[in-house]
């Protein structure tokens, strides 16, 4: 079978039904307050911690009134009321209501950065707007785009669900690479992404002339973390082995160079010793000559190519991050035009794969290249980096990590 996916068909996989509400909304077991309002307290000065929170960025003000935190626009850049603690996997719930409509949001899995003496947040933001985009996820000060497109269908749905002049409940769930949001019980975002796995929260008041927003009932349920596990990075090997073809050399910059000689018919491999069922895996590479691949859910065979199973293709241009099944169906999915656009010639690129059951998603430099449901796929196997046989092959690798997902994490991701 050969399936070539277009950009449109990839994003259609994130279509959401209007009628589905989630048990995540109703279940309060295990939740604790993240911010408890205390009457008379205000956050006026930058960088002055209070109860585990600190204000960063511009000159908006945050004050307490009854059970609400009120954010009011001020001078300068975007302002954030931030946690000092970082969080990885969680379900966060809160209510929001506008006094004066404006652009706002809640940052999550974010980091504090600075430029020209001003602090700002970089990372995911659950957008809050009175129309069109509330509960959609924007990548603030990083890729500067929504994780899923602002389609007319999605914006119409949000407008139907959002309660103007009233309280709205928003839920954010992060489990490993999975990010989901709900607005008043309706799922808005359901996507996987590899950019960050932990970070702080921040209540945002966007820069502008006017605006005032309220938050209340901010509560969180932390979920066991799913950390990245080292396979190779910065001169350090994880639980991997090399197959006896080709040469692996650590470079002065900490990267790993793999080469095979001209005329060598066999592939070389940097192969995990463990097998994995559900996971995210990623590696950065710089192509010198030939092509390579990031194997996953692969099994060892007595063949010149050593492994049978899926490759997230590592190549130059349009085939990169396509799905190729070795000793199987060949090309199962790729997106030539998008991969060409996002590939960095003669530079470092990052590819990755998320595999949860039959759902397989590949990435190139932060962009989803393929996203398919494939009942025929193998459900478990090893991951490895390929040195392609049959000709002169050379590639640099760094930052090779895997994030295993246990049954509890997979159950939440599938909700």
Residue-wise pLDDT for 175-190, tens only, equals 999 999 999 999 999 9
Percent of the chain scored above 70 by pLDDT? 90
DSSP string, 111-123: EEEEETTEEEEEE
Q: Residue 341: in which H helix or E strand, if any?
A: helix 336-342
* Alpha carbons 281 and 228: distance in angstroms, whole number: 8
Residue 25's SS3 state is: helix
34-48, 99-113, 336-350: segment of lowest average pLDDT: 34-48
DSSP letter (8 states) at residue 21: B
pLDDT for 22 equals 59
Residue 24 has pLDDT above 80, yes or no: no
pLDDT digits (tens, 9 = 90+) for 25-46: 678 999 999 877 665 555 544 4
Tokens of 183: 């607005």
More reliable by pLDDT, 13 or 297: 297
More reliable by pLDDT, 384 or 10: 384
pLDDT digits (tens, 9 = 90+) for 197-244: 999 999 999 998 889 999 999 999 999 999 999 999 999 999 999 987
206-215, 319-328, 373-382: segment of lowest average pLDDT: 206-215
* Alpha carbons 305 and 300: distance in angstroms, whole number: 9
Superfamily of 15-223 according to CATH: Exo-inulinase; domain 1 (2.60.120.560)
pLDDT for 49 equals 53
**Which option is the CATH number for 229-413: 3.60.15.10, 2.60.120.560, 1.10.10.10, 2.40.50.140?**
2.60.120.560
When pLDDT is averaged across residues 309-333 and rounded to a whole number, the result is: 95
pLDDT for 322 equals 98
Q: Residue 71: in which H helix or E strand, if any?
A: strand 68-72
Per domain, the residue ranges of the chain are: 15-223, 229-413
| Predicted model pTM | 0.91
| End-to-end Cα separation, the chain, in angstroms | 29
The mean pLDDT value of the chain amounts to 89
- Cβ(142)–Cβ(123) under 8 Å? yes
| 158: phi then psi, degrees, rounded to nearest 5 | -60, -45
Percent of the chain scored above 90 by pLDDT? 71
């Amino acid at each position: 079978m050969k399936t070539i996916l277009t950009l449109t068909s990839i994003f259609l996989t994130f279509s959401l039904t209007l009628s589905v509400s989630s048990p995540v909304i109703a279940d309060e077991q295990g939740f604790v307050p993240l911010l408890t309002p205390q009457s008379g307290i205000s956050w006026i000065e930058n960088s002055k911690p209070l109860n585990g929170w600190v204000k960063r960025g511009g000159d908006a003000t945050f004050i307490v009134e009854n059970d609400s935190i009120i954010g009011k626009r001020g001078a300068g850049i975007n302002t954030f009321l931030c946690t000092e603690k970082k969080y990885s996997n969680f379900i966060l719930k809160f209510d929001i209501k506008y006094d004066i409509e404006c652009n706002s949001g809640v940052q999550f899995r974010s980091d504090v950065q600075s430029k020209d003496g001003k602090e700002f947040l970089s990372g995911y933001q659950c957008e809050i707007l009175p129309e069109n985009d509330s509960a959609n996820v924007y990548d603030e000060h990083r890729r500067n785009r929504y994780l899923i497109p602002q389609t007319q269908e999605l914006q119409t749905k949000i407008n139907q669900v959002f309660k103007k002049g009233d309280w709205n409940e928003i839920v954010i769930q992060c489990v490993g690479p999975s990010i989901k949001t709900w607005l008043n019980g309706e799922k808005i975002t359901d996507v996987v992404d590899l950019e960050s796995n932990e970070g702080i929260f921040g209540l945002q008041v966007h820069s502008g002339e006017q605006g005032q927003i309220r938050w209340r009932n901010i509560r969180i349920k932390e979920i066991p973390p799913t950390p990245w596990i080292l396979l190779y990075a910065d001169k350090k090997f994880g639980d991997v082995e090399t197959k006896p073809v080709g040469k692996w050399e650590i470079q002065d910059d900490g990267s790993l160079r793999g080469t095979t000689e001209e005329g060598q018919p066999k592939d070389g491999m940097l192969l995990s010793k463990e097998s994995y069922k559900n996971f995210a895996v990623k590696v950065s590479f710089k192509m010198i000559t030939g092509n390579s691949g990031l194997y996953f859910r692969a099994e060892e065979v007595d063949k010149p190519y050593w492994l049978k199973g899926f490759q997230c293709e590592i190549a130059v241009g349009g085939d990169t991050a396509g799905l190729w099944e070795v000793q199987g169906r060949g090309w199962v999915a790729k997106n030539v035009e998008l991969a060409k656009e996002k590939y960095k010639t003669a530079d470092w690129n990052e590819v990755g794969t998320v595999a949860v059951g039959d759902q397989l998603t590949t990435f190139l430099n932060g962009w989803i290249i393929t996203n398919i449901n494939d009942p025929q796929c193998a459900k478990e196997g090893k991951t490895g980096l390929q040195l392609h046989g049959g000709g002169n092959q050379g590639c640099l690798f760094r930052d090779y990590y895997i994030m295993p997902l246990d049954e509890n994490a997979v159950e939440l991701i599938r909700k």
